[in-house]
């Protein structure tokens, strides 16, 4: 991948599709090598009626060299699902593997579903919005350059490879040219109408390299509901191992 981008720097990309792919690769490359990280996540769900609800989860991610990342999500709140843990192996090709440990049942259940477009914990985020964003899962097209929030950005469209199981026809992202951070994403549904908009705020840099946004705000334009994600306590390279990401580790996760 490194070789590829050396051979084809952005400026040389000929078609909008090639340029779009090159931008996605560059962004992926700049985030490569973090090895692992942990973080705490607060989700704030709001409906049109003004009611609010919160979820607390912790995430652990392990970078996998030749495939998608491994992820472990531990639910702390609501208290009914406290201790529930969610394990994912994302793959560059094919469906991700997913398991859920249910403490009330004391068993690990494999989620055998191709569905990834449904709501994650009742929020406006779908699993496909928050799972590991592998470059290979989409095709790309650079649309134009734009100024977003005083930053020079690429506007890149991406199209899901697995059309049948995605909820979207396309996503339009605003990626700044200097650090390749994603500031805004518009999600278009299957009939190509604007469904949701994600905006990211307060990016912080970790280990002088890896950018993570502290706040993400997803609004659903069609049903008037919204979800805020508040990230905190990011820690990189904490020494997570492959053995921390298997069915047995799920039960032990706290």
Partner 1 sequence: MDKLEKMFGSMVIKQRWWIIVATVLIVAAAAGGIRHLAFNNDTRVFFSGKNPQLQALEALENTYNKTNNVLFAIAPKNSDVFTRETLAAVEELTELAWQIPYSSRVNSITNFQHTRAEEDDLIVEDLVQGAGNLADDDLLRIKRIALSEPLLVNRILSPAGHVTGVSVIILAPGKSLNETPKVAAFARKMADDFRKKHPGIKLYLTGGVMMDNAFGEAGLKDMSTLVPLMLLTLVVIVGLSLRSFAGTFATLIIILISMVTGMGMAGWLGIMITAASSSAPTIILTLAVADSVHVLATIFQQMRQGNSKHEAIAESVRINLQPVFLTSITTVIGFLTMNFSDAPPFRDLGNIVAMGVTAAFVYSVLFLPAFMAVIPVRVKPKPDEAVCAGCDRLASFVINRRKVIFWGSLIVIVALTAGMLRIELNDNWIKYFDKSYDIRRASDFTEENLTGFHIIEYSLESGETGGINNPDFLTTVDKFAGWYRQQSKVVNVNTITDTMKRLNKNMHADDESYYRIPKERNLAAQYLLLYEMSLPFGLDLNNQINVDKSATRMIVTLKDTSTTELRATDEKARAWLQANAPESMFTYGSGLSVIWAHLSQRNINSMLGASFVALVLISAILTLALRSFKLGILSLIPNLAPAFMAYGIWGLTVGQVGLGLSVIAAMTLGIVVDDTVHFMSKYIRARREHDLNPAGAVRYAFNTVGTAMWITTLALVAGFMVLALSGYNMNADMGLLSALTISLALILDFLFLPTLLMKVEGKKYELLDKETDATTIDRHDSVFAPVSVGSSSDS
Contact positions vs partner 1 (CB under 8 A): 45-53, 75, 78-81, 84, 86, 98, 100, 102-105, 107-122, 126-127, 165-167, 189-191, 193, 221-225
| Burial annotation 71-105 (CB, 10 A radius, 16+ → b, else e) | bbbbbbeeeebeebbbbbbbbeeeebebbbbeeee
Name the residue nearer to partner 1 (CB basis): 75 or 245.
Answer: 75
Least distance in Å: CB of 228 to partner 1?
12
Name the residue nearer to partner 1 (CB basis): 223 or 248.
Answer: 223
Give dist(CA 197, CA 224) in Å, integer. 12
Name the residue nearer to partner 1 (CB basis): 16 or 83.
Answer: 83
Name the residue nearer to partner 1 (CB basis): 111 or 143.
Answer: 111
Name the residue nearer to partner 1 (CB basis): 23 or 43.
Answer: 43
Alpha-carbon dihedral sign for residues 63, 91, 234, 158: positive
Assess contact for 133 and 156: CB atoms under 8 A. no
Name the residue nearer to partner 1 (CB basis): 110 or 209.
Answer: 110
Name the residue nearer to partner 1 (CB basis): 93 or 193.
Answer: 193
Cα–Cα distances in Å, from 85 out to 37, 107, 179, 238? 17, 11, 33, 19
Assess contact for 63 and 38: CB atoms under 8 A. no
DSSP 8-state secondary structure symbol assigned to residue 16: H
Least distance in Å: CB of 104 to partner 1?
4
Least distance in Å: CB of 206 to partner 1?
28
Bin 35: left if φ > 0, else alpha if -120 < ψ < 50, else beta. Answer: left
Give dist(CA 195, CA 225) in Å, integer. 11
Least distance in Å: CB of 68 to partner 1?
17
3-state SS, one letter per residue, for 158-200:
EEECCCCCCCEEEEEEEEECCCCCEEEEEEEECCCCEEEEEEE
Least distance in Å: CB of 131 to partner 1?
11
Least distance in Å: CB of 114 to partner 1?
7
Task: Identify the helix (H) or strand (E) that includes residue 202.
Answer: strand 194-206
Least distance in Å: CB of 123 to partner 1?
9
């Amino acid at each position: 991948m490194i070789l590829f981008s050396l051979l084809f720097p952005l400026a040389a990309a000929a078609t909008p599709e090639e340029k779009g792919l090159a931008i996605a690769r560059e962004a992926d490359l700049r985030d490569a090598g973090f090895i692992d990280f942990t973080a705490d996540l607060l989700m704030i769900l709001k409906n049109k009626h003004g009611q609010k609800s919160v979820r607390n989860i912790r995430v652990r991610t392990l970078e996998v060299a030749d495939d998608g990342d491994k992820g472990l999500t531990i639910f702390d709140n609501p208290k009914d699902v406290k201790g529930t843990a969610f394990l994912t192996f994302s793959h560059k090709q094919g469906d991700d593997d997913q398991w859920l440990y249910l403490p009330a049942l004391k068993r690990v259940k494999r989620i055998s579903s191709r569905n990834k477009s449904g709501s994650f914990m009742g929020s406006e985020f779908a699993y496909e919005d928050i799972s590991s964003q592998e470059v290979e899962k989409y095709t790309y097209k650079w649309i134009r350059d734009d100024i977003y929030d005083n930053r020079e950005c690429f506007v890149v469209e991406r199209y899901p490879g697995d059309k049948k199981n995605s909820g979207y026809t396309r996503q339009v992202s605003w990626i700044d040219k200097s650090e390749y951070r994603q500031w805004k994403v518009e999600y278009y549904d299957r009939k190509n109408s604007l469904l949701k908009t994600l905006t990211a705020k307060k990016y912080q840099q970790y280990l002088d390299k890896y950018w993570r946004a502290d706040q993400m705000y997803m609004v659903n334009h069609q049903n008037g509901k919204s979800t805020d994600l508040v990230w905190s306590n990011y820690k990189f390279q904490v020494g997570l191992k492959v053995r921390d990401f298997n069915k047995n580790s799920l039960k032990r996760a706290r």
